[in-house]
Structure formats: C-alpha cells, structure tokens
C-alpha cells in the first residue's frame, strides 16, 4: 500500500522503516533533510511538502512533536488539506493535546478528510522493534480500516473512544511515567545518601510491589549516568503542560503532575532539556550534591 509519512525523528524514522520492511511504498516528508535521507536510503520516496504527500497518498501518518506542528502540517500553507481528497485518511500518531485533535478533526471533516488520533507508548526501542502500544481515538470504522497498518508498528492498538481519546489516554500514561521516574529518583537518592548501593536496592525491590517497567528501564541508565534520549525532558514538559491544560478544562486537579512539571522546568532552565527524562534524577542530584551511581 502507498503510505505517506510526515515527521521522521527519533520515533517516526524507525516506524517508517518498519512499514517499508513490511512491503509498503512510503512517500515521506520532514523539515530536516538528514532525517529524510536516512529513510530514503531504506527505500522511501521523498516529497517536497506535506501537500505533495497528500496528493500522492490516501493514507498519511504524522509523527510530530506537539499540537502546533501537527496543525501546521495538516492545516497550514502547503499542508495536507491543500493536497487531500475526500478519500484521505490522516492517522496522527504524535502526542498532542486532545482538544487540538478535536479541533483538527472538525477542519478535516469540512473537507471530507478523516482524522484519527493514535499516539504511542514504548519509546525508541519499541518503535525500532515494532512493538509500540498504540491508543486510538476517533471513528471506529476508520480505526478498523487502518488496524493492520498500525499493527506493523505496534504490538497492540486499542480503540479508546471518540476523537481525542487516544491523546487523553496518552496523557494519563505520561503522568504515570513522569511521577514514577520522580518517585524512583527520590527513593534511590534516599538509599544512596543512607549509604546503600543502588544496584542492591534495585535487585532487592524490582520483583516486589514497587517494581515497574519504568524502574527497570531507567535505573540502569541513572546508575550509569547515561541520560542520552530516549524521551527528552522537553517533550515531557510538553506532555505535562497538555495534561494540566486538559485537567483544568475537565475539572481534574493534578497536584503531583504540577510539582513534577516544575522539577522538569528547573532542569530545562539549567540546560538539561535534551536529556532523557530519566534525568529527573539530576534534580535530586543537584539538591544533594550526590550522584546515584553504581
Ligand atoms: P523528534 O523531535 O525526534 O521528531 C519530530 C520530527 O518532526 C523531527 O524530525 C522534525 O524535524 C519533524 N517536524 C517538526 N515540524 C515539522 C513540520 N512542520 N513538517 C515536517 N516535519 C516536521 O520527536 P520524537 O521523539 O520522534 O517524538 C514525536 C512524537 O512522539 C512526540 O509527540 C512525542 O511526544 C511522541 N513520543 C515520543 C517518544 C520517544 O521516546 N521519543 C515515545 C512516545 C511518544
């Protein structure tokens, strides 16, 4: 099948490559030329704009940083809507504000274009091995139509509800991940300051109730002082801002999220925005002047 793919960063690149490996013809676009070149070497054809992608493909996947980027690509000059037809389906896999998905779905529908939101969890490793968890909002019939394509990139794809429900689910995921990393960092600073080897603490508790996928993924990074992203602190700031905005709109107070967001903002202000979000540990390391290392 001919598929358009726009946004070839840490996540989009391996997802696009998996679609090529599965035998699909990809037409790709990104504003960063090196990112395009890498996927073209893997077999994709490059387009000059999002509009051209839409002129050539009925199914278009977008994997962009945040709501403004997706709005530009879909509704902006030389964007998807300028090149789309009434047969076009847009699957936006970016993590953005649910309200932005709802707003864009309305604009798309006015032109007969179908849009669903389908953000992912799992990070770069699962994007590479095609085992992402995909959470989807929008028309169930469109979800059913693209399900097999989603399952090339993911191990699961769950229809969560109407347009925006995928991104609402993703925000819940991001709140849990951020608070979990903060809890792990706080607890491991406690044990480190008290003189217990963090690897011993990890080995002792990872199989118990405190164990988590987050702890298993992040403690090896933290104890090696390896904060290469992965998932950048700046992207997690974006997600928690979207969570607070959504929480305020629907009447759900998020006091813990607000606190961790301020910790992330402090790290951003201190120059750590491009670090992996396991860098939340650095917040505690700066407070105490002590590193959590093996
Ligand atoms: P990234 O910054 O590595 O990639 C984004 C890509 O979009 C870049 O290549 C950029 O050039 C491109 N882009 C930006 N504006 C564009 C435009 N107007 N037209 C065309 N291309 C444009 O980000 P990422 O880590 O790949 O994340 C993408 C999305 O996936 C984000 O919403 C993020 O929150 C989400 N996500 C990331 C991870 C992760 O671990 N990195 C995990 C799950 C979800």
**Residue 16 beta carbon below 6 angstroms from any ligand 1 atom:** no
Q: Is the shortest distance between the CB of 202 and ligand 1 below 6 Å?
A: no
Atom in ligand 1 nearest the alpha carbon of residue 13? 26
- How much of the chain exceeds pLDDT 70, in percent? 100
CA distance 171 to 290: 32
Q: Tens digit of pLDDT for each residue in 220-263?
A: 999 999 999 989 999 999 999 999 999 999 999 999 999 999 99
CA of 211 to the centre of ligand 1 (A): 29
Closest CA to ligand 1's atom 36: 95
Q: Are residues 108 and 233 in the same domain?
A: no
Residues 196, 87 within the same domain: no
Evaluate whether residue 183 is within a structural domain. Answer: yes
76 lines ligand 1 (CB under 6 A): no
Q: In this structure, is residue 294 part of a structural domain? A: no
Rounded to whole angstroms, how far apart are CA atoms 131 and 277?
Answer: 21
Out of 131, 163, 195, a domain closes at 163
13 vs 28, 41, 124, 251, 260, CA distance in Å? 10, 12, 10, 37, 30
CB-hemisphere CA count at 13 Å for 44? 29
Taken in order 9, 11, 14, 19, the sign of the CA dihedral is: negative
Active site residue 33: no
Q: Where are the beta strands (DSSP E) in 109-262?
A: 114-117, 120-121, 132-137, 154-161
Query: Average pLDDT of 121-127?
Result: 94
Ligand 1 pocket, mutate which of 4, 10, 48 (most atoms under 8 A from CB): 10
- Residue ending a domain, among 163, 180, 195, is 163
CA–centroid distance, 199 to ligand 1, in Å, is 33
Mean per-residue pLDDT over the chain, rounded: 98
Q: Is 94 in the pocket of ligand 1 (CB under 6 A)?
A: yes
> pLDDT value at position 215?
98
Which of ligand 1's atoms lies nearest the C-alpha of 96? 32
Asked whether the beta carbons of 196 and 202 are under 8 A apart, the reply is no
Q: What is the CATH number of the domain that holds 31?
A: 3.40.50.720
- Report the pLDDT averaged over residues 118-142: 97
- 45's CB contacts (< 8 A; 6+ apart) are 25, 26, 27, 28
Q: What is the pLDDT averaged over residues 131-148?
A: 98
Number of domains the chain contains = 2
The residue-averaged pLDDT of 1-6 equals 98
Task: Evaluate: CB of 73 within 6 angstroms of ligand 1.
Answer: yes
Of 111, 128, 163, the position where a domain reaches its end is 163
pLDDT tens for each residue of 157-182: 999 999 999 999 999 999 999 999 99
pLDDT of residue 228: 96
Query: 159 and 39: one domain?
Result: yes
Same domain, 136 and 21: yes
Residue 230's domain comprises: 168-288
CATH value at residue 206: 1.10.1040.10
- Say if residue 17 is in the same domain as residue 100: yes
Q: Is 120 in the pocket of ligand 1 (CB under 6 A)?
A: yes
Taking the CA of residue 72 as reference, the ligand 1 atom at the shortest distance is 18
Residues 91 and 190 in one domain: no
pLDDT tens for each residue of 184-219: 999 999 999 999 999 999 999 999 999 999 999 999
Ligand 1 mean position, distance from CA 63 (Å): 6
């Amino acid at each position: 099948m001919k598929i358009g793919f726009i946004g070839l960063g840490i996540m989009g690149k391996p997802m696009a490559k998996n679609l090529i490996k599965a035998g699909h013809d990809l037409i790709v676009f990104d504003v960063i030329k090196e990112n395009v070149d890498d996927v073209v070497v893997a077999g994709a054809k490059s387009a000059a704009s999002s509009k051209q992608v839409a002129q050539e493909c009925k199914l278009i996947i977008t994997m962009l940083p945040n709501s403004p980027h997706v709005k530009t690509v879909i509704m902006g000059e030389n964007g998807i809507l300028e090149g789309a037809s009434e047969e076009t389906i847009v699957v936006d896999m970016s993590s953005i504000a649910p309200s932005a998905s709802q707003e864009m779905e309305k604009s798309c529908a006015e032109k007969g274009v179908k849009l669903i939101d389908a953000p992912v969890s799992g990070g770069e490793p699962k994007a590479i091995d095609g085992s992402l968890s995909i959470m989807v909002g929008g028309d169930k019939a469109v979800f059913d139509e693209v399900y097999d394509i989603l399952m090339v990139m993911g191990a699961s794809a769950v229809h969560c509800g109407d347009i925006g429900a995928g991104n609402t689910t993703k925000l819940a995921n991001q709140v849990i991940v951020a608070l979990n990393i903060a809890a792990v960092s706080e607890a491991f600073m406690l044990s480190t300051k008290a003189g217990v080897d963090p690897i011993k603490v990890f080995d002792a508790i990872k199989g118990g109730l405190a164990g988590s996928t987050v702890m298993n993924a992040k403690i090896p990074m933290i104890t090696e002082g390896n904060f290469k992203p992965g998932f950048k602190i700046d992207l997690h700031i974006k997600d928690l801002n979207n969570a607070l905005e959504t929480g305020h709109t629907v009447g759900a107070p998020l006091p813990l999220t607000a606190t961790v967001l301020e910790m992330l903002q402090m790290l951003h202000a201190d120059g750590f925005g491009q670090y992996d979000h396991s860098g939340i540990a650095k917040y505690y390391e700066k407070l105490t002047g002590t590193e959590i290392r093996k």
